[in-house]
């Protein structure tokens, strides 16, 4: 079985798309430090390419300046200086800045989506959805900026009153991944601005152009210089260590792998920074025998294959009750064949794009070959699509998966979906929780008692119940175990960027 797809390799001319943006000023390739666009002071640049057409010449999007260690320190100094005045701004003032930025993102949504497609590879409709999702954080935090309050606490004696206030923590170091180049920035930037902080942002080297476009828009929105600094770098390890070790940076927010999160935590220990980490996942997706199977099929497709499986909350292991396994797997494969088209994200009708680079492709192949070598059956796909491009792989469904396979232990972060059979609720909870990480989990059931029981027993930070789509600005986003700590978005999103000060008043 093969996916319906675009069979003729057809490249998008990335440079032509950039030249035809409605707002050409969105395309920036310099770093943004203290309100100024600057070249790398050591003349180092790196290429940004479209993964859909790489390595064809049409894949080249542009050369981006890689900021030096000296420029990182300069940006931190600028953010530190800007914080002295920005922390005194009112909630209403910060709310207006964020609302301005929300409207500017919406006004430029088509161009922003095209930039995301070019550097990330996801289809245009997905990219447009990301832009709207990303902008929603600015709208959300614009409201929260005016509502952050402290408390009056009763003292044990009548001669005192205890007051607590929340103050912005200071300069924030922000490090974001490539899979959501807009949204992973906006839900951090929106929160720290709402709190009254300033920041230095290091975007992923695969997708810096979206971040720099947001940098241009925040200038148009009227942000003071130094509040938002965006520094692309080809050397992620060097940039991360600089942010973690500089004593002027008081908070680190990182989205990425668990291994890198552990390293950043060690590097931050010398200055005891406040940290919030959203790290790797291995999400279970459970379909119980009483579930609405058609709804579960739709939810599984949305959760597992969004952005070709390259999201942190993607279902990674699908556990299907043995009594409905055959019906579910048949409907799942049939729906995928009917509704998915693989190809270049700017071509009409394309629903799924490439993986981001060759390292992702190697992991996809490794997991498929390991699983099939241990008895898994390929129910759909299973092959690279070099006729489309080096980074394309068929959406793949593997039946009869077992717990001794790599795909049970590791997050694939690609378009491969293993199906595991289970018999009892206790069994599937044991399997679902048999992992060191705990970001998201999903299950389908009509039994109200089971819904509350299973939701409480799943060892994850977020649970989707009868839905495969959980992310929105109002959700407390984050995990437990080795998936990290802290929450982004929601009413809790500003708290990680504040400190509580207690005042005892004698009366």
| Domains, the chain, with CATH or none | 14-279+485-501 (3.40.605.10), 283-472 (3.40.309.10)
7: pLDDT strictly greater than 50: no
CA distance 136 to 134: 5
Q: Which residues contact 130 (CB under 8 A, 6 or more apart)?
A: 113, 116, 122, 180, 182, 183
The predicted-structure confidence for 371-392, as pLDDT tens digits, reads as follows 999 999 999 999 999 999 999 9
CA distance 395 to 61: 27
Question: What pLDDT is stored for residue 148 in this prediction?
Answer: 85
Catalytic residues: 278, 312
5: pLDDT strictly greater than 90: no
CA distance 478 to 493: 10
The predicted-structure confidence for 395-405, as pLDDT tens digits, reads as follows 999 999 999 99
- In DSSP terms, 301 is beta-bridged to none
The predicted-structure confidence for 238-262, as pLDDT tens digits, reads as follows 999 999 999 999 999 999 999 999 9
Question: Per-residue b/e over 453-464, b at no fewer than 16 CB within 10 Å?
Answer: ebeeebbbbbbb
Structure tokens at 474: 């109002």
CA distance 44 to 203: 16
DSSP H stretches of helix in 196-250: 208-220, 236-245
How far separated are the first and last CA of the chain, in Å rounded? 79
Question: What pLDDT is stored for residue 8 in this prediction?
Answer: 43
Cβ atoms within 10 Å, residue 237: 12
Of 59, 17, 65, 13, nearest to 39 by C-alpha is 65
430: pLDDT strictly greater than 70: yes
Report the Cα 504 to chain-centroid distance in Å.
Answer: 41
pTM over 0.85? The answer is yes
- In DSSP terms, 255 is beta-bridged to 278
CA distance 466 to 488: 23
CA distance 50 to 114: 11
CA distance 27 to 215: 10
**Sign of the CA dihedral running 242, 245, 248, 252:** positive
Q: What is the mean pLDDT of the chain?
A: 96
Residue 483 burial by Cβ neighbours in a 10 Å radius (0-12, 13-18, 19+): buried
DSSP 3-state assignment of 464?
Answer: strand
């Amino acid at each position: 079985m093969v996916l319906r797809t675009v069979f003729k390799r057809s490249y998008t001319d990335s440079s032509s798309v950039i030249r035809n943006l409605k707002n050409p000023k969105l395309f920036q390739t310099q770093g943004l430090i203290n309100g100024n666009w600057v070249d790398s002071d050591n003349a180092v640049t790196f290429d940004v390419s479209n993964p859909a057409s790489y390595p064809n010449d049409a894949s080249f999007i542009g050369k981006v300046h890689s900021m030096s260690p000296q420029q990182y320190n300069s940006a931190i100094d600028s953010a530190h200086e800007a914080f002295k005045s920005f922390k005194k701004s009112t909630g209403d003032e910060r709310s207006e800045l964020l609302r301005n930025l929300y409207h500017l993102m919406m006004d430029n949504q088509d161009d922003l989506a095209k930039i995301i497609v070019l550097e990330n590879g996801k289809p245009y409709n997905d990219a447009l959805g990301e832009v709207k999702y990303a902008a929603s954080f600015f709208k959300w935090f614009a409201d929260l900026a005016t509502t952050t309050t402290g408390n009056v606490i009763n003292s044990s004696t009548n001669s005192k009153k205890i007051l607590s206030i929340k103050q912005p923590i200071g300069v924030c170091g922000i490090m974001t991944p490539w899979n959501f180049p807009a949204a992973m920035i906006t839900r951090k930037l929106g929160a720290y601005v709402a709190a009254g902080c300033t920041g230095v942002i290091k975007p992923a080297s695969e997708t810096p152009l979206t971040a720099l476009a947001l940098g241009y828009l925040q200038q148009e929105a009227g942000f003071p210089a130094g509040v938002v600094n965006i520094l692309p770098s080809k050397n992620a390890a060097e940039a991360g260590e600089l942010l973690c070790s500089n004593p002027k940076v008081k908070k680190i927010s990182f989205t990425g792998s668990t291994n890198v999160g552990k390293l950043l935590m060690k590097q931050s220990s010398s200055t005891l920074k406040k940290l919030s980490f959203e790290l790797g996942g291995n999400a279970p997706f459970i379909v119980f025998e009483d579930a609405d199977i058609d709804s579960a099929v739709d939810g599984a497709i949305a959760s597992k294959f969004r952005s070709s499986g390259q999201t942190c909350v993607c279902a990674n292991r699908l556990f299907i009750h043995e009594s409905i396994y055959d019906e579910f797997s048949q409907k799942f494969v049939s729906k995928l064949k009917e509704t998915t088209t693989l190809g270049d994200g700017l071509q009409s009708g394309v629903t799924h794009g490439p993986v981001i680079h060759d390292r992702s492709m190697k992991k996809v192949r490794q997991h498929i070959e390991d699983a099939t070598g241990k008895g898994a059956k390929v129910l759909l796909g299973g092959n690279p699509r070099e006729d489309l491009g080096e980074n394309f792989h068929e959406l793949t469904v593997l039946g009869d998966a077992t717990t001794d396979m790599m795909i049970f232990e590791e997050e694939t972060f690609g378009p491969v979906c293993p199906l595991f059979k289970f018999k009892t609720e206790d069994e599937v909870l044991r399997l679902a929780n048999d992992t060191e990480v705990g970001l998201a989990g999903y299950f389908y059931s009509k039994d109200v008692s089971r819904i509350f029981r299973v939701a409480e027993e799943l060892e994850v930070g977020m649970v989707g119940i009868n839905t495969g789509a959980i992310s929105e600005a109002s959700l407390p986003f984050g995990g437990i175990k080795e998936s990290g700590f802290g929450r982004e978005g929601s009413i809790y999103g500003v708290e990680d960027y504040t400190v509580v000060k207690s005042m005892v008043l004698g009366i």
